[in-house]
Amino acid sequence: MKNLMKILVLNSGSSSIKYQLFDMLEQTVLAAGSVEQIGEEGSHLSHSLNTGQPGMRKTVRALPIADHRQGFQLITSTLRETGVLADPGELSGIGHRVVHGGEKFKEPARVTPAVLAAIRGLIPLAPLHNPANLLGMEVAMENAPAVPQVAVFDTAFHQSLPPHAYRYAIPKNLYEAHQVRRFGFHGTSHRYVAKKAAEFLNKPLTSLRLISLHLGNGASAAAIRQGRCIDTSMGLTPLEGLIMGTRCGDLDPAIIFYLERETGLAPGEIETILNKESGLKGICGVNDMRGVGELAADGNPEAQLAISMYCYRIRKYIGAYHAVLGGLDGLIFTGGIGENAAFIREGCCEGLAHLGLELDKGKNLAPRQGEAALESKAGRVGILVIPTNEELEIAEQTVACLREVKG
């Protein structure tokens, strides 16, 4: 196999394809962008090119894009026209984000007909995501048949959970017949920031006990011991766990039956409410944390309550994961909120000095770029901001998978 240099990472959604092209020898992004609103009015391509100067040169083209096949062809033609990829055959590999790998996939997998069939069989566990991920793989394989393709699974990092962490206290036959268990998500991000935290602390990952908080519109926590995830907050679906932008997080399951009886709502309608109308949006009417913070600063009591509930739920998980890890070496904030919302980081660490978590408020508020340590001098546990880079992690796992296949 030729040197593993150019890796294209694709994240295929139901009406979009996001992409990044990496030079893995330098670990730099050559180009990035997205095809949006496929098959809809207003479809367009956004493309950013690395020119070697600070920042990326961005262009937006509005044009009809009938389907994912045409979208992929548009991506490759744009990469060719901008001079970063003369032909798809130059690629050493294409890495695909796949949301759900179930119990079948604990590591990245070279895409084969058997792998595609297995991912298709997992559609009931991720009906909104796996079909689109499959479509992206099939289109890429049709258009670049000579390029090896690798599936990288959001759930794979959490497959190291022990049974006492992933099983639910329900009849065993429901687990065996329908895979009703905790799978967890955001695994690619949690894996990436854990590795980066070890590099930042200059300690072996295998020596560390870490709690990773991926806080964006979706949010999850992971307890990581010696580089392996031992517990995570999301469950069978991404609905469980922390309060999120529009998702409720942990909930008494009897609430669903109560609402069905008292309101006459159908199960699907309740599912939509819990996924799309709850969380921050349900509490204060706004799902973007920047907007919630602005409302709270203006004295809005619902927004202030939303922030209090959001941070309180996270503190509960920090305490629980501190217990199961038997101590803590680092708390990691990542994701759009974790990286940028100082007031959320402060709220999450409030009252946790007895666990060794003491935030330096000056460091927390200071402008920064990249990774940073925010703990005070008195703090016994590192409090870190580690920007996530799921696309680079997918590219790295693609390279590792292809090398393993070659070896």
Which active-site residues does the annotation give?
154
Distance of alpha carbon 323 from alpha carbon 14, whole angstroms: 40
Distance of alpha carbon 397 from alpha carbon 407, whole angstroms: 15
Residue-wise DSSP of 324-373: HHTS-SEEEEEHHHHHH-HHHHHHHHTT-GGGT--B-HHHHHS---S-EE
CB 116 within 8 A of CB 96: no
Length of the chain: 407
CB 266 within 8 A of CB 274: no
3-state secondary structure of 93: strand
Q: What is the phi/psi pair of residue 57, to 5°?
A: -90, 115
Q: Closest Cα partner for 113 from 91, 145, 90?
A: 145
Sheet holding 219-225, edge to edge: 228-232, 219-225, 209-215, 330-334, 382-385, 372-373
Distance of alpha carbon 202 from alpha carbon 330, whole angstroms: 12
CA 8 to chain centre: 18
Distance of alpha carbon 189 from alpha carbon 369, whole angstroms: 18
